Amino acid sequence: MMIIRMSDIPEEGLQVEDRAAFRFVDAAWRLDGVSLAVTLDGDEVDVLGRIAATVPQTCGRCLEEYPAAVQAAVDVRFAPRPAASHSTELGRDDLDVDFYVNDELNLGALVENETTLALPMKPLCRDDCRGLCPACGSNRNLGACACPARTPDPRLAVLRDLAARLK
């Protein structure tokens, strides 16, 4: 966890590139690189930069685990957290705004969140992954199975004919 006190940020800003200062909650995640520029703008803080990490993922087609290379661009503005009694309405331009509390900025949480947001929604071990056989469940990437070819659903014949006519 890397916490920076607002009072410790110099006027010219900070450059954070020490990846050893960050630890992910999941020890299997690895931070490969980080470059963050932290600059003050009144009582708000801008954090710009890039994050590179390797995160173990499970392929959505073949269910094999693989290391996913994650690249995340960081562009976040931090503002002081409003008092609990105040109601704050966020607009469209405020989607990249986060809050800091007690004059402390948690860059560790920022790196973890931005890495998580950069993960693919449907992870694939490779673009041409062939997935699992629907009949026997074998991994088609490792070789063909002995299952007979499935006959198409007869209810879909109309769509097959339509596709042939549109060619």
User: pLDDT value at position 165?
Assistant: 82
User: pLDDT value at position 41?
Assistant: 86
14: three-class secondary structure by DSSP: strand
In angstroms, the Cα distances linking 117 to 34, 42, 123, 129, 165 are: 16, 28, 13, 23, 43
What gap in Å lies between CA 101 and CA 34, rounded to an integer? 23
CA angle 120, 124, 128 (to 5 degrees): 135
Is 0.85 surpassed by the pTM of this model? no
User: pLDDT value at position 87?
Assistant: 62
User: pLDDT value at position 37?
Assistant: 94
**CA-based nearest residue to 47, from 58, 59, 60, 34:** 34
**CA-based nearest residue to 129, from 58, 39, 45, 23:** 58
In angstroms, the Cα distances linking 88 to 81, 99, 133 are: 10, 12, 51
pLDDT at 1 over 70: no
User: pLDDT value at position 25?
Assistant: 92
- pLDDT by residue (tens digit) across 20-41? 889 999 999 999 999 999 998 8
What gap in Å lies between CA 60 and CA 14, rounded to an integer? 40
- pLDDT by residue (tens digit) across 69-88? 999 999 998 887 776 655 66
Compute φ and ψ for 130, nearest 5 degrees: -90, -10
- pLDDT by residue (tens digit) across 126-161? 999 999 998 888 999 999 888 887 777 888 888 877
- pLDDT by residue (tens digit) across 83-133? 665 566 666 565 567 777 788 888 999 999 999 999 999 999 999 999 999
CA angle 53, 59, 60 (to 5 degrees): 125
User: pLDDT value at position 92?
Assistant: 59
Structure-derived torsion over alpha carbons of residues 112, 54, 35, 127, reported in degrees to the nearest 10: -110
> What is the residue whose two structure tokens read 């402390």?
104
pLDDT at 164 over 80: no
